[in-house]
Structure 1
Amino acid sequence: MDGIVGWDAVLEGHLAAEQCKVLASARIGMAGAGGLGSNCAVFLARTGIRDFVIADPDVVALSNLNRQHFFPRHLGLPKVEALGAVLRELNPSVILRLEQRALDGPSACGLFAGCDIVVEAVDDPEVKKSLVEALLLAGHRVVSASGMAGWGGVPMTARKLGSRLVVVGDHVSGIGPGMPPLAPRVVMAAAMEADAVLEMLLGECS
């Protein structure tokens, strides 16, 4: 094989043609490409999303490898470039706009104009709050996450807050001393964000 996979063939045994069409035509904004954003984007790409706008200011550091969808070969690269390479390796037909920059509310609204849904995937609680508020005010549908630190603990849930916002996580476990960000719960939250995106999109053609 030449390594090129036709994603219609990958998904046709799992999803109806109309569902595949909806996913392939959607554009998803990713505000962050770390533990939440990198894993969520890969989950979405595996499910048929092909068009992403991704923003993150950081580079891949050694400490990121415990929970983010990167590998030692990506160390020192901008996270958006590393994630772009992962997504293209998985599906060379993906359409990517990659921006190595931090976001605030106004810049996020401009960058993600035209996106069907925006996934909030930043670490700082104040930035998270300002992004979500600005995106909702601009009319975007948003999937956010809150509470994924440590291990065990409170079960994670998905809360629908109005018609355009879903927040996943355990809603209490912030990162701090004795509560590190570890792969199992971070990836769990990322998977729940991806699932919430799919529910928003596929609910339109069910």
Structure 2
Amino acid sequence: MIPTKDEFYKALVDRHGAENQKKFDEAVVAICGLGGLGSNIATCLARAGIGHLILIDYDFVDVSNLHRQHYKINQVGMKKTDAMAANLHEINPYIKIETHNIKLTEANTKPLIEKADIVCEAFDSPESKAMLVNLVLEQMSDKYILSSSGMAGFGSANDIKTRRVSKRFYLSGDGVSDVNAGIGLVSSRVMVCGAQEAHMVLKILIGELEA
């Protein structure tokens, strides 16, 4: 039997407290990129009861994604936005999900994320990472931006940390490991980094701004 919305919400209140859960429920978070990092962030936030997620990606689920991304083998070939929305609604059927199947550019990004309180950058491309971080910091002074650097390989997961770079900018990762240097991305380490970003989102929403 599927719990009602009230039952689901009460379970979250029992875990997080009524005041915190109200803030989560009223929040809008944009997740830009739905690969290993973004799909993990989205899953954590849906479980926490974030009320509204904006999911943005232009890619399709590939079999090579399955070892580290929150997709299923029967979703290979689907748009990542559609597959992710379906998976999140299985976890939390009461969440509002807005999807944009598009590649973000400097020209089109701002209107797609303007409703968000917090933006999570989860791209593979360094150029796309820089574009999004710079756009938010320079043009959207009411928003926080979370990004990442370094989560590849079999190094200790304890090396992955979150730090506050500036007033509205947070960075998660080990700051060193490179996907192109030897072993690539490993599911468990990617999940740790995604969870770090998601946890920082929750902390920001309840007013705990230090990493």
In structure 1, distance between residues paired with 2:11 and 2:187:
27
**Is 1:126 aligned with 2:127?**
yes
The offset of 1:189, in angstroms, is: 0.5
The offset of 1:90, in angstroms, is: 1.0
In structure 1, distance between residues paired with 2:102 and 2:120:
16
The worse-fitting range, judged by mean Cα deviation, of 20-29 and 133-142 is: 133-142
The offset of 1:67, in angstroms, is: 0.2
2:207 aligns with: 203
The worse-fitting range, judged by mean Cα deviation, of 129-138 and 2-11 is: 2-11
Tell me the amino acid that sits aligned with residue 30 of structure 1: I
**Is 1:146 aligned with 2:149?**
yes
* Correspondence list, 1:8-157, <5 A: 8-138=9-139, 139=141, 140-153=143-156, 155-157=159-161
The offset of 1:177, in angstroms, is: 4.5
- Give the alignment's TM-score, normalised by structure 2: 0.92
| Alignment equivalent of 1:171, drawn from 171, 175, 194 | 175
Tell me the amino acid that sits aligned with residue 160 of structure 1: R
Runs of 4+ aligned structure 1 residues displaced above 6 Å come to none
Aligned partners of 1:108 and 1:135 also within 8 Å: no
In structure 1, distance between residues paired with 2:111 and 2:102:
13
The offset of 1:159, in angstroms, is: 1.3
Tell me the amino acid that sits aligned with residue 18 of structure 1: E
In structure 2, distance between residues paired with 1:60 and 1:25:
30
Aligned partners of 1:105 and 1:133 also within 8 Å: no
1:66 is paired with a residue whose SS is: coil
Structure 2's unaligned 5+ residue stretches are none
Tell me the amino acid that sits aligned with residue 75 of structure 2: H
The worse-fitting range, judged by mean Cα deviation, of 52-61 and 5-14 is: 5-14
Tell me the amino acid that sits aligned with residue 93 of structure 1: Y
Aligned partners of 1:43 and 1:191 also within 8 Å: yes
The offset of 1:106, in angstroms, is: 3.5
Tell me the amino acid that sits aligned with residue 105 of structure 1: E
How many residue pairs are counted as aligned between the two chains?
205
Tell me the amino acid that sits aligned with residue 128 of structure 1: K
The offset of 1:105, in angstroms, is: 2.9
The offset of 1:168, in angstroms, is: 0.3
2:197 aligns with: 193
In structure 2, distance between residues paired with 1:8 and 1:88:
15
The offset of 1:108, in angstroms, is: 1.9
| Alignment equivalent of 2:164, drawn from 149, 157, 160 | 160
In structure 2, distance between residues paired with 1:161 and 1:177:
25
In structure 1, distance between residues paired with 2:87 and 2:114:
24
